Structure 1
């Protein structure tokens, strides 16, 4: 049974991720900054609430035990629109949660993850942080002006690749949930929050050993891409078993679908991140 710790989990993608993991028979530790909202969400889902503020070193460090999956989900949007109105304080606030918070939480939880036989870190990033997508006029990402959010997610994706290289014993990926309706975007997304968690759930449960039973294994794996082999030349060596096998042809076909959740597979043995899911 997987023990997963999720930050920013009292609502939106984090809460739905916790709900789905519990439904699959796993243990979800629901992390949130607001004690009242966090306890209410945990009680409703049957999860355990843990107060955590990813901007506070002391709050992040005060944890013991073992976890198998760390899901860095906590995020804020920051100002949109007029870039001339941005302040240094605005930038510091957004990056402190979206990027530095991930550093704090990841480093603080490394001892707990290393007690797991198969540790996993999932960083919830965004296609809004893609340089290619935000420069492609055919994509929705190119029409949004949110300088600090997009910059923080671009940095988070790069941070994920670096952690994946630096921590070979831990399987590290970044997930793009797509444009899901959450408070972060004023519930304007065209896809349901459940669909937005498909990539996260796939990464958290894709190892069959993590599923409580055979039926849960099938249910957990169903949102993700069908397993496929890499094309010749795409890998320098065989991928670690926790990194999803990404079918490049299928991934290319999905790049133009903004509403479909995607996963960046930060495969330590490939040259470049690949979209899948």
Structure 2
């Protein structure tokens, strides 16, 4: 089996996901670019390869069982194992939406992608992660999923977003449950908050670059064996729950 490490990054055709893939590629990793859109996926792979990364495309819709199963087979064919999974794919679910005006289909869609999609992909990739010497899982969350920050008067937490923000709180809770279940394994699983980055997810209104947003996820993807698990981090350290 190759000593080169392999990562799969979901939603890696653009924005923060692309920069996570680029950062790992620059470290010499083989990187699977998970994305639904074939044209954008292959364009991202070509750009990564042009920059010297060992990248390959992974057709992947995190909301579809068959797609996720096929993605796991493809990663196995390419590498035989998976060293790091970065669950980055996500949707805003109409960023500003109050509970009293919520469209329930929008809320369901946010949970399906941002939470259930992460569970679906993680469970499909776990057999490959277990074959790695130092497997890591990074779930890309957001500080708007912090109940502490959301409930602190005067805190800058953005607009009321009954679909997106609680979906990230849900993801945070799910990640803690994975850490509890996997505590006696060598798998470390953590949450990364990229900060408010300028991406098409928010109409490029963020004040940070996608490259800056990728930094915490890359650090957690490459943790040493005595690193933390079941924790929530941004550039400044731990994010309160």
TM-score between the two structures when normalised by the length of structure 2: 0.86
Q: Does 1:148 align with 2:163?
A: yes
Q: 1:12 aligns with which of 10, 15, 36?
A: 15
Q: Is the 8 A contact 1:177 1:262 kept in 2?
A: no
Alignment CA distance shift 1:114-1:157 (3 Å): same
In the TM superposition, what whole-angstrom CA distance separates every residue of 1:34-70 from its partner, at most 9, and x where no partner exists? 1111011111112200100000001101223211000
Gaps of 5+ in 2: 50-54
Q: Does 1:69 align with 2:54?
A: no
How far apart are residue 165 of structure 1 and its match?
0.5
Q: Is the 8 A contact 1:13 1:193 kept in 2?
A: yes
> How far, CA to CA, are the matches of 2:213 and 2:236 in structure 1?
9
Flag as ranges the 4+ runs of structure 1 deviating above 6 A. none
- The match for 1:99 is 115
- The match for 1:24 is 27
- The match for 1:175 is 192
SS at match of 1:140: coil
Q: Number of residues paired by the alignment?
A: 221
SS at match of 2:163: helix
Alignment CA distance shift 1:139-1:75 (3 Å): same
- The match for 2:222 is 205
Q: What's the Cα RMSD here?
A: 2.0
SS at match of 1:132: helix
- The match for 1:136 is 152
> How far, CA to CA, are the matches of 2:96 and 2:67 in structure 1?
33
- The match for 1:162 is 177
How far apart are residue 261 of structure 1 and its match?
3.2
Q: Is the 8 A contact 2:136 2:222 kept in 1?
A: no
- RCO comparison, higher one (Cα < 8 Å, 6+): 2
How far apart are residue 82 of structure 1 and its match?
4.3
SS at match of 1:4: strand
Q: Does 1:87 align with 2:103?
A: yes
- The match for 2:64 is 56
Alignment CA distance shift 1:202-1:99 (3 Å): same
How far apart are residue 181 of structure 1 and its match?
1.1
Alignment CA distance shift 1:82-1:108 (3 Å): closer
Q: Is the 8 A contact 1:79 1:86 kept in 2?
A: no
Q: Does 1:185 align with 2:202?
A: yes
How far apart are residue 205 of structure 1 and its match?
1.8
> How far, CA to CA, are the matches of 1:261 and 1:178 in structure 2?
8
